[in-house]
Chains A and B, each alone.
Chain A
């Protein structure tokens, strides 16, 4: 029950044959070698597997790879330019927005989607948007600061 699917991943067209039961996360990690997205809770709660599907955040751990057939996926590996990190990534470094880093790919993908949708978010809007990205290390204070800083930098 394998399927051949075509997915544009971080701007590159990829074709891959997967069993129908393959999650998008496992497809990215094991079939396409993109291990930046992580499996934490495995039930869509923690956000470590967050990727963008056609520009919108989803939980790739509870999405079937076959459902991404014909669509565009952006993972953490696709955020940085050739030379430079995305402003969100740089801000997480500068402001201490991560510690162990396991939730960080999901955090920065979500934060990027936030700033794409709302370049100047209030703290309340940051908290609402980022609700689904759990972090066990930072206590979130520096994640909020990181996103504030990234927004500021993007505006400058």
Chain B
């Protein structure tokens, strides 16, 4: 690695001040799994690292208006094993469980992973489907935006210079709703997804028809995406093979995958269609269980 300066401030304000002072030279580091790897590969060589690790309180996972607020420094493993997350949003715990290995999940933080903006990651997909918002803090104050608007391009987020992710707020699922995350891993069990899909489905009180659905995909382009076209096809419809096929076709038209060693663009497009069907099936099943519970 190339030489750099390193600071580990104790407060967020201090961290923001150091960031402002060092401008483009500075990078924020949290768990470091992505950044240190890229620095070792000399893909990035920042002159100044600002570690957030010593800032207290940024790692909390807490109830928030019926939903859950996750601090940026919470690790993937924290989210996966949080009793609160497991109880209220099991799909989120399951999504984080699918990331890499326990060891990496012990290191990688929620905020760091979002800021890394790698389109092949698991958590953003489910966060988008759940309608989560990312909380950002800069010297000019705080702002929040939907996770689906946070990713701008390949490894590029909406973070402005001097801003850091401080947390993510995930709303609770509506009543009579279900969610599912499907990670397609045709090679080894520790790989990034070839295609990943998260879906939420809300059904009528009688469970007959879909009231609303949200669908998000990862590894199908330069950012994780939301498949609004497919979502629109589902509202008011009964579950069935034809409907799933239609949603799959809509998704295939919406994705723009990159060819890589996990599959060609053509194959990933096909698999996006298949995996959307699988995710919707599981989410719908979960919604029916939920609807029966509320009746």
Chains A and B belong together in one complex: yes
A23 CB contacts on chain B under 8 angstroms: 1, 36, 40
**A1/B2 in contact, CB under 8 A:** no
- Whether B4 contacts A20 by the Cβ 8 Å rule is yes
Report the stretch among A55-63, A76-84, A87-95, A96-104 that lies at the interface: A55-63
Q: Are A59 and B33 in contact (CB under 8 A)?
A: yes
Interface assignment of A42: CB less than 8 Å from any CB of chain B: yes
State whether the Cβ of A110 lies closer than 8 Å to any Cβ in chain B. Answer: yes
Interface core residue of A19, A42, A58, A61 (most chain B CB under 10 Å): A58
Q: Would B3 and A1 count as touching, CB distance under 8 A?
A: yes
Give Cα A59 to B40, complex, Å.
14
Q: Which of B32, B49, B100, B101 has the most CB of A within 10 A?
A: B101
Q: Is A47 an interface residue (CB 8 A)?
A: yes
In whole angstroms, how far apart are the Cα atoms of A133 and B41 in the complex? Answer: 21
The one of A43, A58, A64, A69 that contacts B103, using a Cβ cutoff of 8 Å: A58
User: What class of interface size applies to chain B in its complex with A?
Assistant: 20 to 34
- Interfacial chain B residues near A64, Cβ < 8 Å: 6, 29, 32, 36, 49
User: What is the predominant secondary structure among interface residues of chain B facing chain A?
Assistant: mixed
B residues 29-75 near A (Cβ < 8 Å) are 29, 32-33, 36-37, 39-41, 49, 51, 53
B174 at the interface (CB under 8 A from A): no
CB pair B102–A20 under 8 Å, yes or no, is no
Report chain B residues within 8 Å CB of A59: 33, 103-104, 107
Which residues in B have their C-beta under 8 angstroms from that of A3? 6
Instruction: Kindly list chain A residues whose C-beta atoms are within 8 Å of the C-beta of B53.
Output: 67
B106 touches A (CB below 8 Å): yes
Q: Which of B4, B8, B77, B107 contacts A1 (CB 8 A)?
A: B4
Interface residues of A in 34-71 (CB under 8 A from B): 42-45, 47, 50, 56-59, 61-64, 66-67, 69
How far is A132 from B104 in the complex, measured between Cα atoms in Å? 8
Cα(A94)–Cα(B53), bound, Å: 41
CB contact under 8 A between A57 and B106, given known A21-B4, A67-B53, A132-B100: yes
Query: Is A43 a contact partner of B37 (Cβ separation < 8 A)?
Result: yes
| A42 B103 Cβ-Cβ under 8 A | no
Minimum Cβ distance to chain B for residue A145 (Å)? 19
B3 is contacted by which of A21, A57, A62 (Cβ under 8 Å)? A21
Q: Are A44 and B37 in contact (CB under 8 A)?
A: yes
Contact A66 B190 (CB under 8 A): no
Interface centre among B51, B102, B107 (most CB of A within 10 A): B102
Give Cα distance in the complex from A131 to B104, angstroms: 11
What's the least CB distance linking A151 to chain B, in Å?
17
Set of chain A residues within 8 Å of B6, measured between Cβ atoms: 1, 3, 20, 64, 66
Complex alpha-carbon distance, A16 and B37, angstroms: 23
Cβ-defined contact, A128 with B102, below 8 A: yes
Tell yes or no: B5 within 8 A of A by CB: yes
Q: Which residues of A contact B104 (CB under 8 A)?
A: 44, 59, 132
The reply to whether A132 and B32 form a contact with Cβ atoms under 8 Å apart is no
User: Beta-carbon contacts of A1-32 to B below 8 Å, as 1s and 0s?
Assistant: 10100000000000000011101000000000
User: Which of the residues A19, A43, A66, A129 comes within 8 Å of B102, measured between beta carbons?
Assistant: A129
- A interface list, Cβ under 8 A from B: 1, 3, 19-21, 23, 42-45, 47, 50, 56-59, 61-64, 66-67, 69, 110, 128-129, 131-133
